[in-house]
Structure 1
């Protein structure tokens, strides 16, 4: 499904989920999600004050997306791509089993992070660029 210029506050509109969708110019705020797969494409979207617990972002694509005051607890970003994204005041923390967020095979290109905790440059060992 294709979503354009929509506002999502606290949750997605049912029956749609985070899989196999394209979101363009959408704003997400106060989303609190536990578990679940996210493998959609996000273009020029914003995420503000969202909280993911045990999220599984497998092969998700983010292009020119801004994350502000978001928390990711024990979240896996396997094979995801972040192109010209910005992370501001975000936290990547442990889950209740003391597992860190994982960034296996993630591609970062031209991304910016400001005042983030747990999103270390050393997690980007594939030669990706940060500004």
Structure 2
């Protein structure tokens, strides 16, 4: 299902879900998500002050997406593609069982990070 130029605050509203959807130019703010798979396509979206706990970004595609002040706890990014994405003031931390975020087979293309904890080793700021 396609969602275009919508704002989601505090929660996703049905029929939107993190699975099998396409989001273009959408804004997400203050959404807390626990578990579940995120395998949708995101283009030109912004995530502000969102939190994921045990989320699984499995083969998600993110193009020109901005993450601001987001927290990822024990989140797995498996086979996801990040193209021209920006991460500002984000944290990639352990969950309550000391499980770290994982980045297996992730592709980073022209992404940037500024003041992020736990993402330093994944890619370097390149233009």
- Runs of 5+ unmatched residues, structure 1: none
After superposition, residues 79-118 of structure 1 pair within 5 angstroms as 79-118=79-118
Q: Determine the structure 1 residue equivalent to 2:24.
A: 24
Q: Distance in 2 between matches of 1:65 and 1:88?
A: 11
Q: Determine the structure 1 residue equivalent to 2:52.
A: 52
Once the two structures are superposed, residues 59-116 of structure 1 have per-residue CA deviations (whole angstroms, 9 ceiling, x without a partner) of 0000000000000000000000000000000000000000100000000000000000
Higher strand share: 2
Structure 1-normalised TM-score? 0.93
Q: Determine the structure 2 residue equivalent to 1:43.
A: 43
The ranges of structure 1 where at least 4 consecutive aligned residues each deviate by more than 2 angstroms after the TM superposition are none
Question: 3-state DSSP class of the match of 1:57?
Answer: strand
Q: Distance in 1 between matches of 2:33 and 2:10?
A: 9
| Cα deviation, residue 57, structure 1 | 0.4
- Runs of 5+ unmatched residues, structure 2: none
Q: Distance in 2 between matches of 1:111 and 1:14?
A: 31
Once the two structures are superposed, residues 10-41 of structure 1 have per-residue CA deviations (whole angstroms, 9 ceiling, x without a partner) of 11112431100000000000000000100000
Whether the 8 Å contact between 1:108 and 1:130 is mirrored in structure 2 is no
Q: Distance in 2 between matches of 1:77 and 1:41?
A: 14
Whether the 8 Å contact between 1:94 and 1:101 is mirrored in structure 2 is yes
Aligned residues: 126
Q: Distance in 1 between matches of 2:56 and 2:33?
A: 11
Q: Distance in 2 between matches of 1:16 and 1:24?
A: 13
Q: Distance in 1 between matches of 2:48 and 2:125?
A: 21
RMSD value over aligned CA atoms? 1.0
